[in-house]
Amino acid sequence: MITKLIADARKIVIKLGSNTLAKADGTINEPFMKEFAAQCVDLIREGKQLVLVSSGAQVAGLSTLDRWARKKDIHYRQALCAIGQVELMDYWRNAFGDHRVHIGQLLLTREDFQDDQRTLNMRNTIFTLVDEGVIPIINENDSVSYEEIKIGDNDNLSALTAVLWSADLLILLSDIDGVYDKNPKEFPDARLIEEVSDIEELKNSITIGATNSFGTGGIATKLEAAVKVTSYGTPMLLVNGSRSRCIEALRTGTQTGTVFLARD
């Protein structure tokens, strides 16, 4: 199923969570980014189009300025994202630069998706970048966002992006293999759910546990993202980005995950 969904999709949005981009010590996992970029380039060379939604500004910021780790004040947090966003994009530029592929950055807030003119401009920018072979890399504009105008998590941002761009497939890379009936980090006997056609039914049959240290959304926001895209006819995959060469493994059928089937 996963192999076929990826093979059939031409326009793919891939979201990378902070836990996927960070190493265990909390610094940015540059080897992963290089390996991931190489797999993206393979997809593009086969005629697919990609848009990335990348978390990790805080992680990248703390990798650079670890003395700010204990500063919880909102101004410091937002300043840290301003610093980290540049670092994050520098890592991505290097990773894709190895393959002579350009990247473009879009920093968005919820208001951008609520304003028709801005939405149209974002859409046109994404289409133009992709048509020119450039990979758009999107993140929430955390340095200007505040609670009331925040999307709040990149699961929902990636779903809004997939709908805006009319993607054929949304892939969320996380640090777990998919949705389980209970938190696999707490319960070793948790069972992976490989296919979901009714998200409401799923919500009633699983236990949603806590997120990880860098995670902002957890499973709840991943399910919100799934509701958004599947109702627009776009399927979603929740898979483990920390497995070796994960995109390739998914394409060859050696890695599983959770498939959220599109609603007709």
Per-position x/- string for 140-179, each x denoting binding to ligand ADP as judged by CB under 6 A, each - no binding: ----------------------------------xxx--x
Cα-Cα end-to-end distance for the chain: 17
Q: Residue 166, by phi and psi: left (phi above 0), alpha (psi -120 to 50) or beta?
A: left
b vs e for 11-43, b when ≥16 Cβ sit within 10 Å of the residue's Cβ? bbbbbbbbbbbbeeeeebbeebbebbbbbbbeb
Among 218, 228, 240, 242, binds ligand ADP (CB under 6 A): 218
Choose between 9 and 238: whose C-beta lies nearer to ligand ADP: 238
Beta strand ranges found along the chain (DSSP E): 11-16, 49-54, 103-108, 135-140, 169-174, 179-180, 192-193, 195-196, 236-240, 258-260
Choose between 104 and 209: whose C-beta lies nearer to ligand ADP: 209
Q: Is residue 185 at the binding interface for ligand ADP, with CB under 6 A as the rule? A: yes
Residues 15-74 that bind ligand ADP (CB under 6 A): 17-20
Comparing every residue's Cβ against ligand ADP, the nearest one is: 215
The region of 65-73, 104-112, 142-150, 203-211 touching ligand ADP under the rule CB under 6 A is 203-211
Query: Which spans of this chain sit near ligand ADP (rule: CB under 6 A)?
Result: 17-20, 174-176, 179-180, 182-185, 206-209, 211-212, 215-219
